[in-house]
């Protein structure tokens, strides 16, 4: 017999079916609640609301577990590549050798963007934020590929849209940076892999030869894998909600980019670096700032510590800390003042009872900001890097939502405004 729960409301018994996931997560199915009772549920911030059933990513915040399609994030970060993980998320299984070769080849062949993209880019002032440029240019792809906006498209057309988006976002992201600093745009190279190609477009110049450091490529590969999906976060939920209106993949992802742009979602690693720079400018005394963080009357808080979902250690943080150590060593930055400050803060969080009792451990944003800074990526590009990594997850979530034919998202509200009142002419107000 299927498990259920009983809700007693106004003396009437309402049966709520219990839904159980493959990892034994349980939820009350309230899909018929309003029809049966006239009531809705109120859950600001959706902290206790499951908006969908998904087979893509499993996250256990209490145990510090993250898996893509069943594969532990630790194994994928160590053994896989970003494009292989992208294929896994989007299509549900690790690719065969032929499938991966074809997928990689198709993406490589589509990294060029239409030359008119350059004209659109020229319309942005140099002060434009790279995230604003990225969102706009991704949405503009609907103009270059008008078939993409059709409510129903063939599997072949969808696969082509996926390849185009995966391929072109790295070019557009690099160009958004080049535009912001007034540097000449660099075209992609088909002889480089995905991560190396992006770094080449970001940092090379037409006037000189640029060699991509393989250690830096490996670190970037890990960073992108660790950010590839995180189930129903703000930007992913945005992509699914916009997509539920039958909006195109490009338009839905553009909306997700805008959600990620919000500092409460995608700006944490930038805030980490800004915090470290502030501490350095103040003399570098970390004990002073740790005391400020403990003072409940002080508005200062340590950025990059703790997580809304992970109540244990962020599993991604352990992986990325090792990558950060390797990159800083390889680039000769192991003695940098910012790193010293970061290490002292990290040590305090791992040994001080104040942080241990509150489980305020360093998270992925703490270490990713340090790596991006070491790579020479400016802070205003940090969220663009986040978007580059998160793209496969957005695509996979949008694709799953469409394949499951989920209804258009339309939350309810509890109205708290004025009661009905009569209109008054302006002379009588």
Q: What is the pLDDT of residue 309?
A: 84
Query: What's the pLDDT tens digit per position in 73-105?
Result: 999 999 999 999 999 999 999 999 999 999 999
- Give the separation between CA 70 and CA 193, rounded to whole angstroms: 26
- Give the separation between CA 415 and CA 253, rounded to whole angstroms: 31
Of 43-47, 96-100, 312-316, the least confident: 312-316
Q: Look up residue 87 and give its two tokens.
A: 């294929």
Length of the chain equals 429
Cα 393 off chain centre by: 8
Which among 227, 229, 230, 307 is annotated as catalytic?
307
Tell me, yes or no, if 183 is annotated catalytic: no
Assign 168 a pLDDT band (cuts: 50, 70, 90). Answer: very high
Radius of gyration of the chain (CA): 24
Query: What's the pLDDT tens digit per position in 354-384?
Result: 988 888 888 888 888 889 988 889 899 999 9
Q: What is the pLDDT of residue 324?
A: 87
Q: Look up residue 145 and give its two tokens.
A: 């590929």
- Give the separation between CA 19 and CA 2, rounded to whole angstroms: 9
Query: What's the pLDDT tens digit per position in 254-274?
Result: 999 999 999 888 888 888 899
Q: What is the pLDDT of residue 206?
A: 94
* Closest-CA residue to 59 (of 266, 304, 319, 310): 310
Instruction: Quickly tell me which residue has 């409301």 as its tokens.
Output: 9
Q: What is the mean pLDDT of residues 273-278?
A: 93
Of 85-94, 146-155, 330-339, 377-386, the least confident: 330-339
- Give the separation between CA 125 and CA 180, rounded to whole angstroms: 8
- Give the separation between CA 402 and CA 158, rounded to whole angstroms: 11
Q: Which residues contact 18 (CB under 8 A, 6 or more apart)?
A: 2, 3, 4, 5, 26, 27, 28, 29
Q: Which helix (H) or strand (E) holds 343?
A: helix 337-351
- Give the separation between CA 355 and CA 352, rounded to whole angstroms: 6
Query: What's the pLDDT tens digit per position in 198-208?
Result: 999 999 999 99
- Give the separation between CA 227 and CA 390, rounded to whole angstroms: 5
- Give the separation between CA 326 and CA 207, rounded to whole angstroms: 30
Q: Give Cα separations from 429 to 199, 326, 419, 423 (angstroms).
A: 62, 69, 18, 10
Q: Is the pLDDT reported for residue 427 higher than 70? A: yes
Q: What is the pLDDT of residue 334?
A: 82
Tell me, yes or no, if 365 is annotated catalytic: yes
Query: What's the pLDDT tens digit per position in 282-291?
Result: 999 999 999 9
- Percent of the chain at pLDDT exceeding 70: 100
* Closest-CA residue to 134 (of 231, 260, 243, 246): 260
* Closest-CA residue to 367 (of 269, 249, 220, 230): 269
Assign 1 a pLDDT band (cuts: 50, 70, 90). Answer: low
Q: Look up residue 164 and give its two tokens.
A: 């185009």
Q: Is the pLDDT reported for residue 315 higher than 80? A: yes
Please state the pTM of the whole predicted model: 0.94
- CB of 56 closer than 8 Å to CB of 393: yes
Q: What is the mean pLDDT of residues 147-165?
A: 96
Q: Look up residue 31 and give its two tokens.
A: 């899909």
* Closest-CA residue to 113 (of 158, 167, 159, 162): 167
What 250-255 contacts at long range (C-beta under 8 Å, 24+ apart), as own/partner pairs, is 250/138, 250/139, 250/141, 250/142, 250/145, 250/148, 250/161, 250/165, 251/139, 251/142, 251/149, 252/394, 252/398, 253/138, 253/165, 253/391, 253/394, 253/395, 253/398, 254/135, 254/136, 254/138, 254/139
């Amino acid at each position: 017999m299927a498990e259920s729960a009983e809700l007693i409301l106004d003396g009437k018994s309402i049966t709520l079916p219990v839904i159980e996931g493959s990892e034994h997560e349980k939820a009350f199915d309230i899909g018929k609640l309003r029809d049966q009772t006239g009531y809705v549920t109120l859950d600001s911030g959706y902290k206790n609301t499951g908006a969908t059933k998904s087979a893509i990513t499993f996250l256990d915040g209490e145990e510090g577990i993250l898996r893509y399609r069943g594969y532990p994030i630790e194994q994928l970060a160590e053994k896989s590549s970003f494009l292989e993980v992208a294929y896994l998320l989007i299509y549900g299984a690790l690719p065969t050798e032929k499938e991966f070769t074809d997928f990689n080849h198709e993406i490589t062949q589509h990294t060029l963007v239409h030359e008119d993209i350059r004209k659109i880019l020229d319309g942005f002032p140099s002060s434009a934020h790279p995230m604003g440029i990225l969102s706009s240019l991704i949405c503009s792809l609907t103009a270059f590929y008008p078939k993409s906006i059709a409510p129903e498209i063939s599997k072949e057309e969808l696969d082509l849209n996926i390849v185009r988006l995966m391929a072109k976002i790295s070019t557009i992201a690099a160009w958004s940076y080049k535009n912001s600093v007034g540097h000449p745009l660099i075209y992609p190279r088909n002889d480089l892999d995905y991560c190396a190609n992006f770094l080449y477009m970001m940092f090379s110049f037409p006037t000189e030869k640029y060699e991509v450091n393989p250690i830096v490529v490996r670190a970037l590969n890990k960073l992108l894998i660790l950010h590839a999906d995180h189930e129903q976060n703000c930007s992913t939920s945005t992509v699914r909600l916009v997509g539920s209106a039958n909006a195109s993949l490009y338009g839905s992802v553009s909306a997700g980019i805008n959600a990620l742009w919000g500092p409460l979602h995608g700006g944490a690693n930038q805030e980490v670096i800004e915090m470290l720079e502030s501490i350095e400018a103040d003399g570098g005394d970390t004990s002073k700032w740790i005391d400020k963080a403990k003072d409940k009357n002080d508005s200062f808080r340590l950025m990059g510590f703790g997580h809304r979902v992970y109540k244990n250690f962020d599993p991604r943080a352990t992986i990325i800390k090792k990558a950060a150590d390797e990159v800083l060593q390889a680039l000769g930055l192991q003695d940098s003042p910012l790193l010293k400050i970061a290490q002292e803060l990290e040590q305090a969080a791992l040994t001080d009872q104040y942080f241990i009792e509150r489980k305020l451990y360093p998270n992925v944003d703490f270490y990713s900001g340090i790596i991006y800074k070491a790579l020479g990526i400016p802070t205003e590009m940090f969220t663009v890097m986040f978007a580059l990594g998160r793209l496969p997850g957005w695509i996979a979530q949008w694709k799953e939502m469409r394949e499951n034919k989920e209804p258009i998202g339309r939350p309810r509200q509890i109205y708290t405004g004025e009661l009905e009142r009569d209109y008054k002419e302006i002379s009588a107000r």
